[in-house]
Structure 1
Amino acid sequence: MLTTQRKKAILELLTRDGQVLAAPLAATFGVSEDTIRRDLREMAADGLLQRVHGGALPASSAVAPFSTRRTLESSGKSAIGMAAAAMIVPGQIVMIDGGTTSAELVRHLPSNLVATVVTHSPTVAVALVDHPSIEVIMIGGRLYKHSIVNVGAAAIEAISHIHADIYFMGVTGVHPTAGLSTGDLEEAYVKRALAARSAETVVLASMDKLNAASAYSIGDVTLAQTVVVERSTDSAFTEALEAAGVSVVRA
C-alpha cells in the first residue's frame, strides 16, 4: 500500500472511530509502528489530526484567525448563543470568554438585562457598551491576537479575585476522553483560571469543535457542568458526555 493510500485509510478510521492507536494501525497495514508514527507526524503537520500519546485524535477545524471565523455565518452558533443567553439570571456575575460563539451569546442578551459581565475579550467588552444595565469588568493582560483575548500572569491574577455565578467557556476541541482543549497554552491557563472562579462552567460547542482536539488541554470534560451543542449533534457523542456526568443542552 502506498503511503498516500495508508494516510487516506487512517483518516477514514479516524472519522469512523474518533481516535486511532499506532499499534493496531501497524498491525492492520502490516508496517512498523515507526512507519505509522511517521505518518501521524506528517499528517499532524498538515493539520489533518492531533497527535496524542499512543495515537491520534481528529484535529479541530476551529483554529482559523478570529477575523476569518467571524465572517463565517453559522445558524448553529447563533442558536447556541441564544440558548446560552437564556441561562443568565438577572443580577448574576457572568464570565464570558472570547470567540465567535461568545459573540453570538452577547448579541442575544436582552437590552434591559441587569448583570455584571467579566471578560478578557475586548470584543465582548465593546459589544456590551450599548447595554445600559450591564456592568463590564475588563480583565487585562497581553493581547493574544489570534483569538482577541487577554492572557498572561496579569489576567490570571485579576481573575483570582472574582467569584462568578456562571462562566461561558469557548474551546476549539471537545472530546469525551481527551477533554476540553484549545490552540494556545496561555489561553488554556486563563480558561482554567476562569472556570476555577465560577460556580458553574458552560461550554459553548458548535459542530466544528465536537469529537476533536487541539494541542493544549484545558481539562477533562467534567470541568464543565453543561455543554451547549447544536440540535443536530450526534446522540452517540452527547450520550458519552452525559455518561461522564455533564449535562447537555441542545440549542
Structure 2
Amino acid sequence: MLKKERQAYILHRLDIHNKVVNTKLCEDIGVSEDTIRRDLEELDRAGKLIKVHGGALSNSFNHIHFDTVPVYSLQQKEKIAEKAIRLIKDNMYVLTSGGTTILEMAKRLPHQLKATFITGSIPVLNAYIQHPNLNVIVVGDRVNKNAKITVGASAIAKIREVNADLCILGTNAIDLRRGITDNDWEVVELKRAMIEASTKTVCLTIAEKLNSFEALQVCELKRIDYLITELSPDDKLLQPYVKAGVTVL
C-alpha cells in the first residue's frame, strides 16, 4: 500500500473499532512496526487520531476532549439503541459496558423508565445520571483511559455481587466461530464478569463489525441471547447467526 492508502485503512479501522493495535496493523497491511508507528505519529500530529502506547484511539471515542467530533455510523447506532431500549423494562437491573453505541442508548432511555443501571463507563454514567428515575450504580477501581471505563479486581468483584436481568455489551468484533472478541485484556475480563452476572446477554454492533474478530475472546457465540444491529432481522447477513441460535432484533 502507498502511505495514503495505509493511513486511510488505519482511520477506517479506527472508525469501526475505536482502537487499533500496532501488531495487528502490521499483520493486516504487511509492513513493519516502524512504518506503522510513523503513520500513527503523522496522523496524531494532524489531529486525526490519538496515539497511545502500542496503537491509537479514535477521536470520536474521546468524549472528554472531542465532544464535537462526529460519531462513526451515528444513524446506524441510533437505530441499534432504539431496538435495545425495547428490551429494558421497569425494575430491571441492567449491566452495561462502554462504547459509542451504549452511549447513544443511554441518551435515549425514556425519562419515565424506572430501572437500575450498573456500569463503570465514565461517558455512559454521565448520560445515565441525566435520567430522573434511574438508579445508577458505579463499579469502581482503576480507570482504563483508553476505554474510559473502570477495570481491575475491585470492579470485577463488585460485578460478581450482582444478579442482573440484562448485560448489554458494546461490541468490538463478532463472528460465528470466535464469538465476541476484543483487543484490550482488561476490558475483556470486565465483559466476561458482566456476562456471568446476568440472566441474558445482549450484543450491540453495527453490521460492519459482523464476521470480524480481534485477538482476545470475550465469549462464545452461544453465550449471546440477543444480537442487535441496524439491519432488518431477516437480512441475509444475519441468517447464519439466527441458525446458530441467537435471537436477532
Same fold flag (TM > 0.5): yes
2:58 to 55, 59, 64: 64
Q: Using structure 2 for the length normalisation, give the TM-score.
A: 0.73
2:145 aligned with 1:145? yes
3-state SS of 1:165 partner: strand
Aligned to 1:18: none
Q: After TM superposition, give the deviation of residue 107 of structure 1 in Å.
A: 1.3
Aligned to 1:9: none
Aligned to 1:98: 98
Q: After TM superposition, give the deviation of residue 234 of structure 1 in Å.
A: 8.6
Q: Which amino acid aligns with 1:221?
A: L
Unaligned runs of 5+ in 1: 5-37, 47-62
Provide the C-alpha distance between the structure 2 equivalents of 1:211 and 1:198, rounded to a whole number of angstroms: 25
Unaligned runs of 5+ in 2: 3-25, 37-56
Structure 2 counterparts to residues 60-139 of structure 1, below 5 A: 64=58, 66-67=61-62, 71-73=70-72, 74-139=74-139
Contact persistence 1:122–1:138 (CA under 8 A): no
Provide the C-alpha distance between the structure 2 equivalents of 1:109 and 1:136, rounded to a whole number of angstroms: 13
Q: After TM superposition, give the deviation of residue 44 of structure 1 in Å.
A: 9.8
Q: After TM superposition, give the deviation of residue 232 of structure 1 in Å.
A: 5.7
Q: Which amino acid aligns with 1:175?
A: D
Q: Deviations over 1:69-113 (max 9, x none)?
A: 962251110010111112101010111211000011111100111
Provide the C-alpha distance between the structure 2 equivalents of 1:77 and 1:127, rounded to a whole number of angstroms: 16
Provide the C-alpha distance between the structure 2 equivalents of 1:98 and 1:44, rounded to a whole number of angstroms: 32
Contact persistence 1:200–1:225 (CA under 8 A): yes
Structure 2 counterparts to residues 182-221 of structure 1, below 5 A: 182-221=182-221
Q: Which amino acid aligns with 2:58?
A: A
Bigger radius of gyration: 1
Greater alpha carbon shift after TM alignment, 199-208 vs 63-72: 63-72
Aligned to 1:55: none
Q: Which amino acid aligns with 1:72?
A: V
Provide the C-alpha distance between the structure 1 equivalents of 2:224 and 2:233, rounded to a whole number of angstroms: 18
3-state SS of 2:164 partner: coil
Q: Which amino acid aligns with 1:186?
A: E
Q: Which amino acid aligns with 1:80?
A: I
- The higher-RCO structure (CA 8 Å, 6+ apart) is 1
